[in-house]
Each structure stands twice: as structure tokens, then as C-alpha cells.
Amino acid sequence: MESNKNFVVGIFDDEDILLHAVENIREKGLKIHEVYSPFPVHGLDDALGYKRSRLPIAAFMFGATGTSLALLMQIWMLGYDWPMIIGGKNHASLPPFIPVTFELTVLLAAFGMVGTFFIASDMKPYKWPRQFDLRSTDDKHVMAVDLAANKMSKDEISTLLKSSGASEVNEKNF
């Protein structure tokens, strides 16, 4: 973590006020570092201008890998490596391979996507997140503005946050 980063932190009590505040603040040209909420606020990612997550694509790729691996494994094992006649059917007949193929598709898609989520969000059991305000997991929405990334002064930012509906404005240094 970089040292000596100064943030102005706005505390919001209500998700609707927060959403309007984000739009208002971004219109005024202030760059928001991040907003921390106790629960998902719908429309907040759009208001902050975040692009849609590409995790669905990752899930699809992992799922497709699962499908191919499962089919290849079963066809190779029962069709080529040790062919056996079971119930007079072909060595490598497709229909009985579908259940296992489906399960492995789901398994790889789910685990691959969740693993990607942890990597993309940089989440690890031994890592403590940067906490601007401990109430952000309780009942407050916390907006952090990086002073170094903005041209406005500390006081101007505080006034803007207050006028947008923040119930409190604090400072936080890391």
C-alpha cells in the first residue's frame, strides 16, 4: 500500500441520496476513488461509470473447458485406452457420457469463475482491506475521494460532498 495518501471521506445514510450524490459529484468533475456499501446498491456501478464485469465470459470459458475435458476423458478412457463392451453398446457412445459432461461443465464454470472473482478483486484470507470507515459494513455508504487525483482543494471537496447529501465528511490518511 502506498504511504501518505490523503482521502476525503463522505458518509451517506441512504442509498437514494448516495446515487444522486454520485451523479452530481461526477458532473462537477470530481473523481471518486470508490464507494463502499453494506449491501449492493443497484445502479451504483453505472453511476460511477464502471464497465460491466467480464466474469460471465470467464465462466463461459471455464465451462467450455469442462465440457471438452469431460468428453475427451470419457471417449479416450472407454473408447481407446481400454475399450469394453457394456450392454452391447458402442465403446464410445455419446448419450451415457452426457451426465458426467454436464456435471464437469458446471463444476469448472463455478469454480473457475469464483477463482477469477477472487483474483480480479484481489481478495485473500490474509489481506486486510483499506478501511475508510468501519460503518461501511454496517449501515453507512462511504465515499472516498483521493486528494492527489483531484485538482479541487480539500475544503471545496468537503463542501461539495456536504451539499450533495453527505451526513458527515471526514479525512483519512493511509
Partner 1 sequence: MQVTSSIREPLITGGKTVRDVSEDISRQVEGKPTQLWWIAMGISLVLFTFGFYCICTLLWEGVGVWGLNKTIGWAWDITNFVWWVGIGHAGTLISAILLLFRQKWRMSINRAAEAMTIFAVICAATFPFAHMGRLWLGFYWVFPLPNTWGSLWANFNSPLLWDVFAISTYFSVSLVFWYMGLIPDFAVIRDRAVRQGHKMRANIYNALSFGWDGAARTWSRYESVALILAGLSTPLVLSVHTIVSMDFATSVVPGWHATIFPPYFVAGAIFSGFAMVLTLLIITRKVFKLEDYITIYHIELMNIVIIITGSIVGIAYITEFFIAWYGQVPAEQYAFFNRMQGPYWWAYASMMTCNVISPQLFWFKKIRTNIVATFVLSIIVNIGMWFERFVIIATSLHRDYLPSSWSMFHPTIYDMGEYIFTFGLFFSAFLLFAKFFPVINMAEVKSIIKSSSEKKH
What are the cell numbers at 3?
504511504
Q: Does 50 bind partner 1 (CB under 8 A)?
A: yes
| Burial grade of 18 (CB within 10 A; 0-12, 13-18, 19 or more) | buried
CA angle centred on 171, ends 167 and 172, rounded to 5°: 125
Binding residues for partner 1 restricted to 137-166, rule: CB under 8 A: 137-139
Q: Does 37 bind partner 1 (CB under 8 A)?
A: yes
| Burial grade of 27 (CB within 10 A; 0-12, 13-18, 19 or more) | exposed
What are the cell numbers at 35?
464507494
- Interatomic CA distance for residues 65 and 119, integer angstroms: 19
Site string for partner 1, 116-135 (x = CB under 8 A): -xx-xx-xxxxxxxxx--xx
| Contact residue for partner 1 among 5, 15, 65, 172 (CB under 8 A) | 15
Number of residues that bind partner 1 (CB under 8 A): 65
What residues make contact with partner 1 under the rule CB under 8 A? 14-16, 34-41, 44-45, 48, 50, 52-53, 55-56, 59, 63, 73-74, 77-78, 81-82, 84, 86-87, 89, 93, 96-97, 99-100, 102-104, 106-107, 109-111, 113-114, 117-118, 120-121, 123-131, 134-139
